[in-house]
Amino acid sequence: MADTQNTPYYITTAISYPNGRPHIGHAYEAIAADVIARFQRLQGRDVRFQTGTDEHGLKMARKAEEQGRTPRDLADEMAGYFQEMCAALNISHDRFIRTVEEDHHRASQSIWERMAAAGDLYLDRYEGWYSVRDEAYYDESELIEGEGGEKLSPQQTPVEWTVEESWFFRLSKYEKPLLDLLRSDGFLEPASRRNEMIAFVEQGLKDLSVSRTSFDWGVKVPGSDNHVMYVWVDALTNYLTGLGFPDETENYAKFWPADLHLIGKDIVRFHTIYWPAFLMSADLPLPKKVFGHGFLLARGGEKMSKSAGNVVDPQDLADQFGVDALRYFLMREVAFGKDGSYSPEAIVERANGELGNAFGNLAQRTLGFIAKNLDGSLPQIFGHTDSDNSLFEAVDQAITREIPQHFENLALQQGVEAWLKAVFACNSYIDAEAPWALRKTDPERMQTVLATLYICIAQLGVAISPVIPASADKLLEAMGINPKLRTYDGIRSHWYSPLAESNFRLDKPTPLFPRLELPANEDA
Ligand code: MSP
C-alpha cells in the first residue's frame, strides 16, 4: 500500500508490574504487539515499538517487603525476566522501558508540572477505597461483596480503606471532552468496550487522587518532600518518556501521538479516561487508538492464579512447542479482543495441522522435489495455464487485500485465516497438478507448476512472517529471497526470473516445523 510508505507508526504495550515472573498473559500481549509492529514494517512504515515494566507503587513495595528486600532489588531481578521473555519470544521492540530510569522520572515530573500549570492539581485529603492489586481507587458504589462478605473491587481484588493527604487532579473538569472522545469512532476498540467507559463517565467523574504520602517508592512530586506520584500517573507517562519527552526530540516529533496503545481489558479505564484527561490538561495530543484485548485463560477457561496452580511460564511453552508454534497458536486460536483459552492439546493440533501439514509440507514437498529432480536449479516457466493464474490470483488477493486489511484492522485471527485459505489453495493446486506425475510425461509443465508454487510459497512466507518470523526467515533464506524483497510490495515484484537465472542453487530443504508430540504427562 503506497500511502503507508515511510509513515511513522508508534505502538506500545502496557508496561507490566514486575512483582513476579512474566506469565502467558504478558507473553500474549507482547506477541500480539510484535505481530502488529512487524506487519506495519512490512507495509513500509517507520515503526517504533515500546514495551517495559511498571516498577513503582504500593504493590511492588509490599511484595518486596514480604520478601525482605528493597523494591529496587525486586524490580531489578523481575524486570530481567521480562526482558528475557521478550528476547525468547522474538519481540522486536525498540525500547524496553523501566520506570525507575532517570529519564522517566524527568518526563513524569514534566507532565506533572504541565498539569499544575493548567490549574488542575490541588492539595486535599483522600478518604476512600484502594486496591493494591489493581493500584486503583474505587468508589464505594463500585465495590462488590466477596464470598465471606468482604468488600472487593470490581476486578474481585481486596480493597483497603485509605486516608491520607494527597494531591488531586481535576478529572471532573474533563467529563465532556472525554465523552466526546469515547464516542468518537476508532479511539477505543473493540467497540464492545466503549459502553462501559461511557457509562462510567456519564455517572459523573470525581477528582482523582494522584499522589501518596504513606510510602515513598515512586516518582517524587516536584517541589514536595513527602509526596510520590500515584503509580498510574508515572506509568502512563512511559509512552512519552520513550520518545524523549519533555525534550523536543526528533522521535517525539515523529511518533507522538501514538498510533496504538495495546492493553488488556482490565486497564481500559486508565488508558481511555485518566490518560487522555492528563494529556488534555498538559495540552498534549491524544493517542489515536487504544485497543483492549481479551484475557488468556488456562485450560477450561479458568482464570490463571498462583493459588489455582495454573500459571504457565511462557518460556516453558516456548521450550516445549517452539516459539513460532506458540506465536501462531495464540494469534490463530483467539479472536483478538475476546477472551480465549489454551491447552497443550490445542497448541499441538494447530501447529501440526496448519503449520506442519498445510504450510510446512507444501514447502517441503515443493522445494524437496526441485532440489532432487532439478539438481537445485530453479524450474523454468514455459507459459502459464488458467489454473496457474487462478492460484496466483488467490494468493495475490490474500496478500494484497485480505491479510493486510485484517491486520490493519487488528483482526489478527482473520488475517491468519486468510493466509491459511491461500495455503489450502496451494495444496489443492499441487494435488491437482501432481508435478511428480508430470516428470516423465511433460517435464516442461512440471517445471512451470513448480515455479508457480515457488512464487506463491515465497509470497505466503512473507505474508505470515509477522506471526512466525524465525520460521519465515529460515524458509525465505533457503529460497534465496533477498531480505529487501521481504515486504508486501517487494514479494509481488518480478524477482523470480532473475533469481532462476542467477547461480542460486536450492539445497535439500530441512523441515520448517518439527512434528510436535504431547508430553507424556499432559494426557488429557
Ligand atoms: N502495570 C499495569 C499497566 C500499566 S500501563 C501504563 C498493569 N500491569 S500487569 O502486569 O498487571 O499487566 C500488564 C498487561 O498484561 C496488561 O495489559 C494486562 O491486561 C495484561 N494481562 C495480564 N493478565 C492477562 C491475561 N491473563 N491475559 C491477557 N492479558 C493479560 O496492568
Distance from C-alpha of 35 to C-alpha of 28, rounded to nearest angstrom = 11
The full 3-state SS of 310-342, as one line of letters, equals CCCCHHHHHHHHCHHHHHHHHHHHCCECECEEC
Atom of ligand 1 nearest to the CA of 263: 17
The contacts of residue 356 (CB under 8 Å, 6+ apart) are: 513, 514, 515, 516
Cell numbers for 421: 485459505
- Complete DSSP assignment for 58-84: HHHHHHHHHTTS-HHHHHHHHHHHHHH
Residue 340 CA, ligand 1 centroid: distance in Å: 15
132 and 155 in contact (C-beta within 8 Å)?
no
The contacts of residue 236 (CB under 8 Å, 6+ apart) are: 270, 271, 274, 275, 278
Residue 396 CA, ligand 1 centroid: distance in Å: 37
Report pLDDT digits (tens) over 59-81.
Answer: 999 999 999 999 999 999 999 99
Q: Where are the beta strands (DSSP E) in 34-189?
A: 46-53, 95-98, 121-131, 136-138, 144-145, 151-152, 160-169, 188-189
pLDDT by position in tens, the chain (length 524) = 447 789 999 999 999 999 999 999 999 999 999 999 999 999 999 999 999 999 999 999 999 999 999 999 999 999 999 999 999 999 999 999 999 999 999 999 999 999 999 999 999 999 999 999 999 999 999 999 999 999 999 999 999 999 999 999 999 999 999 999 999 999 999 999 999 999 999 999 999 999 999 999 999 999 999 999 999 999 999 999 999 999 999 999 999 999 999 999 999 999 999 999 999 999 999 999 999 999 998 877 777 666 667 778 899 999 999 999 999 999 999 999 999 998 899 999 999 999 999 999 999 999 999 999 999 999 999 999 999 999 999 999 999 999 999 999 999 999 999 999 999 999 999 999 999 999 999 999 999 999 999 999 999 999 999 999 999 999 999 999 999 999 999 999 999 999 999 999 999 999 999 999 987 764 44
Q: Compute the C-alpha angle 63/315/73, nearest 5°.
A: 30
Per-residue confidence (pLDDT) for residue 312, from 0 to 100: 82
Cα 54 to Cα 216, 246, 257, 453, distances in angstroms: 15, 19, 21, 48
Mutate to test the pocket of ligand 1, among 11, 12, 17 (most ligand atoms within 8 A of CB): 17
Residue 295 Cβ contacting ligand 1 at under 6 Å: yes
Protein residue whose Cα sits closest to atom 13 of ligand 1: 16
Specify the DSSP class assigned to residue 505.
-
- Cis-peptide into 344, omega within 30 deg: no
Closest CA to 13 of 30, 38, 31: 30
54 and 96 in contact (C-beta within 8 Å)?
no
Under DSSP, is residue 166 helix (H, G, I), strand (E, B) or coil?
Answer: strand
Longest dimension (CA), the chain: 89
Distance from C-alpha of 354 to C-alpha of 423, rounded to nearest angstrom = 9
Closest CA to 135 of 57, 218, 205, 215: 57
The contacts of residue 185 (CB under 8 Å, 6+ apart) are: none
Specify the DSSP class assigned to residue 514.
P
Report pLDDT digits (tens) over 391-421.
Answer: 999 999 999 999 999 999 999 999 999 999 9
Under DSSP, is residue 184 helix (H, G, I), strand (E, B) or coil?
Answer: coil
Rg of the chain on CA atoms, in Å: 26
Residue 14 Cβ contacting ligand 1 at under 6 Å: yes
Closest CA to 264 of 290, 241, 236, 289: 290
Distance from C-alpha of 72 to C-alpha of 64, rounded to nearest angstrom = 8
Residue 312 Cβ contacting ligand 1 at under 6 Å: no
Per-residue confidence (pLDDT) for residue 523, from 0 to 100: 45
Residue 267 Cβ contacting ligand 1 at under 6 Å: yes
Mean pLDDT score of the chain: 95
Pairing of the two strands 95-98 and 46-53: parallel
The H-or-E segment that residue 42 falls in is: helix 24-42
156: region left, alpha or beta (phi > 0 left; psi from -120 to 50 alpha): left
Residue 16 CA, ligand 1 centroid: distance in Å: 6
Distance from C-alpha of 218 to C-alpha of 67, rounded to nearest angstrom = 19
453 and 486 in contact (C-beta within 8 Å)?
no
238 and 52 in contact (C-beta within 8 Å)?
yes
Per-residue confidence (pLDDT) for residue 2, from 0 to 100: 47
Residue 304 Cβ contacting ligand 1 at under 6 Å: yes
Residue 263 Cβ contacting ligand 1 at under 6 Å: yes
Residue 236 Cβ contacting ligand 1 at under 6 Å: yes
- Angle 412-433/386-397 helices, nearest 10 degrees? 170
Specify the DSSP class assigned to residue 302.
B
Burial class (CB in 10 A: 0-12, 13-18, 19+), 113: middle
Atom of ligand 1 nearest to the CA of 19: 10
Under DSSP, is residue 239 helix (H, G, I), strand (E, B) or coil?
Answer: helix
Distance from C-alpha of 385 to C-alpha of 286, rounded to nearest angstrom = 53
Protein residue whose Cα sits closest to atom 24 of ligand 1: 25
Cell numbers for 448: 512451470
Atom of ligand 1 nearest to the CA of 235: 6
pTM: 0.96
Protein residue whose Cα sits closest to atom 30 of ligand 1: 25
Residue 324 Cβ contacting ligand 1 at under 6 Å: no
Residue 266 CA, ligand 1 centroid: distance in Å: 7
Cα 484 to Cα 34, 301, 455, 462, distances in angstroms: 20, 43, 16, 11
343 and 320 in contact (C-beta within 8 Å)?
no
